[in-house]
């Protein structure tokens, strides 16, 4: 593959992108939709309400490096010990599948979506959902994801596309959000500053410390100014154009946090970028510590994803 020709004009065009107003409007719309959906859900699940649910940005929305190809990813953190315990007990995949299949079959008529519904019919369906038999001792993150998906469907128009996989809800709604940005909600358990994402593959919760991540990035920003944000934006853009997808932001933040702060100094972002690239090419990136868990290298922390080879690919092509 040919080397990437990085010019000063290209770098400056990347850092000039400004999505602040766009994201502010989108975040407001997402909050409104989720507030209405959770209020509808609370009619069925008494221990879920807007007071014990937190919407936390987790990707480029959090570190201000949003680019044109970014999605909006959030943790929807639920502070409820019973829900977490119920999910932990359902680690047997086959049993969990049978329970969800039985649940879906028993309520197949209610949960069947119709493409076109009047407002009156949507309201009737929303009222019916409260009549589904609810057992607090068996209600898991999977059940919550399915019920929340249905509540979101009742709030949005029929033109929006809403998908569900495990505990992740994806939304594409041009008419409802006035944009083509994909919105992704990860339903997670929240315990103080720790967010716990349940993974059926790993048969347990993956812990993410958002507050620690924010503190470390904030500390770095005080030392580097806005140049750290601009470098994040540049690497996001180059990574996407080389690999066809966005990098894991915790991985990228860990790498750039490791770069000495003095390399970020200066007014010419193009020269700063070149200094950082040259520095990283001389280092063993896999030994860098994760900002999520300083006891682990980024290659060993599951939260950092698996984009080491793809990031090195970007460096080698520059």
The C-alpha atoms of residue 229 and residue 217 are separated, in whole angstroms, by 10
The CATH code of the domain that includes 100 is 3.30.460
pLDDT digits (tens, 9 = 90+) for 251-274: 999 999 999 999 999 999 999 999
Give residue 110's pLDDT: 59
pLDDT digits (tens, 9 = 90+) for 67-99: 999 999 999 999 888 887 877 776 554 455 555
The C-alpha atoms of residue 133 and residue 102 are separated, in whole angstroms, by 12
Give residue 270's pLDDT: 96
Is the pLDDT reported for residue 102 higher than 80? no
* SS3 of residue 297 by DSSP: strand
On whether residue 15 sits in a domain, the answer given is no
Which CA distances in Å does 70 have to 62, 171, 180, 252, 304?
12, 14, 11, 14, 17
Q: Are residues 175 and 227 in the same domain?
A: no
Is the pLDDT reported for residue 118 higher than 80? no
The C-alpha atoms of residue 318 and residue 316 are separated, in whole angstroms, by 6
Q: Are residues 215 and 166 in the same domain?
A: no
Q: Is the Cβ–Cβ distance between 23 and 66 less than 8 Å?
A: yes
Is the pLDDT reported for residue 220 higher than 80? yes
The C-alpha atoms of residue 222 and residue 257 are separated, in whole angstroms, by 12
The C-alpha atoms of residue 197 and residue 45 are separated, in whole angstroms, by 20
Give residue 191's pLDDT: 84
Q: Are residues 110 and 149 in the same domain?
A: yes
For every residue of 112-152, DSSP letters joined together read ---S---HHHHHHHHHHGGGS---TTT--HHHHHHHHHHHH
Residues in contact with 269: Cβ distance below 8 Å, sequence separation at least 6, in sequence order: 11, 12, 15, 227, 230, 231, 234
Q: Which of the four pLDDT bands, split at 50, 70 and 90, describes residue 130?
A: very low
On whether residue 304 sits in a domain, the answer given is yes
Give residue 231's pLDDT: 97
Q: Which residues pair with 165 in a beta bridge?
A: 168
Give residue 204's pLDDT: 65
Q: Are residues 24 and 141 in the same domain?
A: yes
**Range 149-158 contact pairs with CB under 8 angstroms and sequence separation of 24 or more:** 150/111, 151/37, 151/38, 151/40, 151/41, 151/126, 152/33, 152/34, 152/37, 153/113, 154/37, 154/40, 154/122, 154/125, 154/126, 155/33, 155/36, 155/37, 155/40, 156/33, 158/115, 158/116, 158/117
On whether residue 249 sits in a domain, the answer given is yes
Q: Are residues 49 and 174 in the same domain?
A: yes
Q: At which of 141, 172, 201 does a domain end?
A: 201
Q: Which of the four pLDDT bands, split at 50, 70 and 90, describes residue 3?
A: confident
Check residue 205 and give left, alpha or beta (phi > 0: left; psi -120 to 50: alpha): beta
Q: Are residues 183 and 231 in the same domain?
A: no
Give residue 11's pLDDT: 94
On whether residue 182 sits in a domain, the answer given is yes
Q: What percent of the chain has pLDDT over 90?
A: 59
Q: Smallest Cα–Cα separation from 62: which of 87, 36, 27, 37?
A: 27
Q: Are residues 34 and 178 in the same domain?
A: yes
Q: Which of the four pLDDT bands, split at 50, 70 and 90, describes residue 138?
A: confident
Give residue 278's pLDDT: 95
The backbone torsions φ and ψ at residue 237, rounded to the nearest 5 degrees and listed phi first, read -65, -45
Q: At which of 201, 232, 252 does a domain end?
A: 201
Is the pLDDT reported for residue 103 higher than 80? no
Q: At which of 201, 223, 242 does a domain end?
A: 201
What is the span of the domain harbouring residue 193?
Answer: 20-201
Q: Which residues pair with 204 in a beta bridge?
A: 199
Return the DSSP state at 265: -
Q: Are residues 141 and 216 in the same domain?
A: no
Give residue 260's pLDDT: 96
Q: Please count the structural domains in the chain.
A: 2
Question: Which residue reads 């048969």 in tokens?
Answer: 203
More confident residue, 152 or 93: 152
On whether residue 9 sits in a domain, the answer given is no
Span 212-234, average pLDDT: 95
Task: Compute the half-sphere exposure of residue 258: CA atoms within 13 Å on the CB side of its CA.
Answer: 21
Question: Which residue reads 């924010």 in tokens?
Answer: 214
Q: Are residues 197 and 218 in the same domain?
A: no
Q: What percent of the chain has pLDDT over 70?
A: 83
Q: Are residues 32 and 146 in the same domain?
A: yes
Q: Are residues 25 and 111 in the same domain?
A: yes
């Amino acid at each position: 593959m040919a080397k990437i020709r990085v010019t000063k004009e290209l770098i400056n065009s990347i850092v000039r992108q400004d999505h602040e107003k766009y994201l502010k409007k989108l975040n407001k719309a997402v909050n409104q939709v989720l507030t209405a959906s959770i209020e509808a859900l609370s009619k069925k699940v008494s221990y879920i309400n807007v007071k014990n649910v937190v919407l936390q940005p987790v990707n480029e929305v959090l570190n201000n490096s949003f680019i044109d190809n970014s999605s909006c990813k959030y943790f929807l953190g639920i502070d409820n010990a019973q829900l977490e315990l119920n999910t932990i007990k359902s680690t047997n995949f086959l049993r969990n599948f049978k329970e969800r299949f039985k649940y879906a079959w028993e309520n197949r008529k209610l949960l069947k979506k119709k493409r076109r519904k009047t407002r009156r019919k949507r309201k009737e369906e929303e009222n019916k959902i409260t009549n589904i038999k609810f057992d607090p001792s068996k209600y898991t993150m999977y059940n919550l994801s399915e019920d929340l998906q249905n509540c979101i469907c009742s709030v949005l128009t029929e033109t929006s596309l809403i998908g569900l996989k495990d505990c992740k809800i994806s939304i594409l709604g041009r008419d409802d959000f006035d944009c083509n940005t994909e919105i992704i909600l990860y339903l997670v358990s929240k315990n103080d500053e720790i967010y716990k994402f349940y993974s059926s593959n790993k048969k347990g919760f993956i812990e993410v410390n958002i507050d620690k991540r924010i503190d470390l990035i904030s500390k770095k920003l005080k030392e580097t100014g806005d140049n750290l944000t601009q470098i994040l934006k540049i690497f996001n853009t180059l990574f996407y154009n080389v690999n066809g997808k966005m990098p894991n932001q915790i991985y990228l933040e860990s790498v750039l946090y490791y770069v000495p702060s003095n390399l970020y100094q200066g007014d010419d972002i193009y020269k700063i970028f070149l200094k950082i690239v040259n520095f990283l090419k001389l280092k063993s990136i896999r030994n860098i510590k994760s900002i999520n868990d300083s006891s682990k290298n980024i290659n060993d922390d599951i939260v950092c994803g698996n984009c080491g080879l793809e990031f090195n690919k970007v460096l080698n092509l520059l």
